[in-house]
């Protein structure tokens, strides 16, 4: 059993509290609906809301960033030129999306940072997660005929019922430059994946 509360502090007190008991792959599968639900509850005084894209008035979005709803960008976030956010994303306060980075169908908690040219798909990132330049959180098993993503729980591979799920990264995880997380990664808080490494739960002993 995977509990988001074991990976992300205070999720039960966050706007995602109503969904805190979901498995991470179930959470991201419902991301567009969840983000639209949260959008409807946002205070208009605090957010600039255009259609289904909401940007906190203290956030900075540089010209050339592409924002596709449903999307919520929290307080004091920085979204760099050339970045792409799509597919249903929620960013907590103080997050950074760097130049050329792509975030797809993901929930990102406070203080987390994607550097230059990252891809993060269908994932949940805890507080203070840092991804160095060029790192990838893959979300799809292109190499297999059976596309269902498997996760390793207590040494055993288990099915998710989803063909797209990237990772659950606990608070303060660090992913080095040009590292790759294969679909289905579950990293406990403060885990480190070194530069240029590949983390694949299906291949783990």
Q: What is the mean pLDDT of each run of 10 residues along the chain (205 residues)?
A: 93 96 96 98 95 98 98 98 98 98 98 96 98 97 91 92 97 98 97 97 74
CA dihedral 103, 28, 199, 2 (to 10 degrees): 150
Identify the pLDDT of residue 204.
Answer: 63
Domains in the chain: ranges and CATH: 4-203 (2.160.10.10)
Contact predicate 170/4, CB 8 Å: no
The label of the residue with tokens 């994932």 reads: 123
């Amino acid at each position: 059993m995977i509990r988001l509360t074991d990976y992300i502090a205070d999720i039960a007190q966050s706007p995602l509290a109503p969904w805190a008991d979901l498995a991470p792959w179930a959470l991201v599968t419902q991301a567009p609906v969840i983000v639209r639900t949260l959008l409807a509850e946002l205070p208009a005084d605090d957010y600039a809301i255009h259609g289904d894209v909401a940007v906190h008035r203290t956030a900075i979005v540089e010209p050339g960033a592409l924002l596709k709803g449903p999307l919520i960008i929290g307080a004091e976030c920085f979204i760099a030129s050339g970045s792409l956010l799509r597919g249903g994303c929620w960013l907590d306060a103080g997050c950074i999306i760097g130049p050329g980075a792509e975030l797809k169908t993901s929930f990102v908690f406070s203080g987390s940072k994607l550097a230059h040219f990252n891809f993060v798909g269908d994932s949940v990132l805890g507080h203070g997660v840092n991804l160095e330049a060029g790192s990838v959180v893959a979300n799809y098993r292109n190499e297999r005929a059976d596309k269902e993503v498997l996760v390793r729980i207590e040494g055993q591979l288990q099915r998710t019922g989803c063909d797209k799920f990237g990772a659950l990264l606990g608070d303060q995880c660090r992913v080095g430059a040009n590292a790759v997380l294969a679909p289905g990664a579950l990293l406990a808080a403060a885990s480190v994946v070194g530069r240029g490494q590949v983390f694949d739960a299906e291949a783990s002993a």
